[in-house]
Amino acid sequence: MKKNRNTKSFKALLLVALGIGLLSACCAPGVRKAPTAAQVEDTSAVQEDKTLKKEDISNENVMMDTVYGDWHVRVDTVDSKTKVKNSDEFVKKVVVTISKGGKVLFDKKVFTREDFCKGANEEFQVYAVLPPDFTNTSVYLPVSICYPETDEGFAFLLALSKDGSSKVYPAPMGWEESDRITNFYIKYIHEWQQKPVDKASLLKLARDYGSPAFVEQLTKGGTQIVFPAKVLARKNMKVVPEAELVKGGCLVRFSTSYDNTQPFDSIRVELKKRSVKKDYDYEYMIDKVIY
């Protein structure tokens, strides 16, 4: 995603948006105020052009072409013929080609603004935010819908799985430690929805987001211990997580849908400060979960 050229904060944007109804046709930030379940899951109402023509191929902009293990992922963007409202930019299509072990799973599959938010604000542009995350089962591609040339907008995770399915998850913008914990749970829940569940993928996410002590907790206690009992009892693990910073860590609440403002269960996550921090790391990582 391109860096913000403005000095306005996201909170200021949100206040303006709420005041004038700027985002009434789209989604609000974060998981709790994300699109409705119907907006996220209904793919029948997509209106933007999802076809690729010869002239589209000629103006492809390669965003990424990478190999990770037996995954080969290429992400391109292609300009459509429609301009972003109040901008000189053309609305982009995100084009994904993925193979695993030499088998093509997604062959130039097109995703548009409408795939991430039905009735998307016409002033927004869609961006693929690299790099993606990988497990044995899925590729997680961060995507944002923002005003052109800014970071002002909304974030999503596009999960592309080895069974050929894709799913969009509204996600936090990623400015706080709690956002990172929410992202961990979004991916972890997605992994639990795979058939069969791949334990190695769950532990890979634990290593990415947590300390050695956290990985050991999951190894000894079972990969399911990151969830409270009521979450595990939900059919197909269809739950929506949202983390909030509290003293010493995060409180992760679980709801039944994006529309539900009353969480039915929660769990506490303790955080630990990193002794060695890389440029792309958050300062804290998960150290353990507490019931």
* pLDDT tens column, 84-141: 999 999 999 999 999 999 999 999 999 999 899 887 889 999 999 888 999 999 999 9
Predicted confidence at residue 60, as pLDDT, reads 73
**Which CATH number goes with the domain that contains 273?**
3.10.450
Predicted confidence band of residue 211 (pLDDT cuts 50, 70, 90): very high
- Mean pLDDT, to the nearest integer, of 165-178? 90
Residue 267 falls inside a structural domain: yes
| Mean pLDDT over the full length of the chain | 83
Residue 25 lies in a domain: no
- For the segment 151-170, the average pLDDT, to the nearest whole number, is 95
Number of domains present in the structure of the chain = 1
User: Does the pLDDT at position 277 exceed 80?
Assistant: no
Span 204-222, average pLDDT: 97
The answer as to whether 224 is a domain residue is: yes
* Alpha helix (H) residue ranges in the chain: 10-20, 37-41, 54-58, 113-116, 177-192, 199-209, 212-221, 229-232
Could you tell me the pTM of the whole model?
A: 0.82
Please give the single-letter amino acid code of residue 73: V
In this predicted structure, what is the pLDDT of residue 34? 45
Angstrom distance (rounded) from CA 287 to CA 211: 5
Find the range with the poorest average confidence among 132-141, 164-173, 211-220, 257-266. Answer: 257-266
Domain containing 230: what range?
A: 174-291
Report yes or no on 213 lying in a domain: yes
Please check whether residue 57 lies inside any domain of the structure.
no
Tell me whether strands 125-128 and 103-111 are parallel, antiparallel or unpaired: unpaired
pLDDT at 26: 47
| Average pLDDT of span 51-79 | 82
**Residue at 245 is within a domain:** yes
CB–CB of 35/170 below 8 Å?
A: yes
> What's the pLDDT band for 31 if we cut at 50, 70, 90?
very low
Asked whether residue 247 is domain-assigned, the answer is: yes
**Does position 73 have pLDDT exceeding 50, yes or no?**
yes
**CA-to-CA distance for 173 and 12, rounded, in angstroms?**
15
What are the angstrom distances between the C-alpha of 71 and each of 49, 158, 201?
A: 28, 16, 14
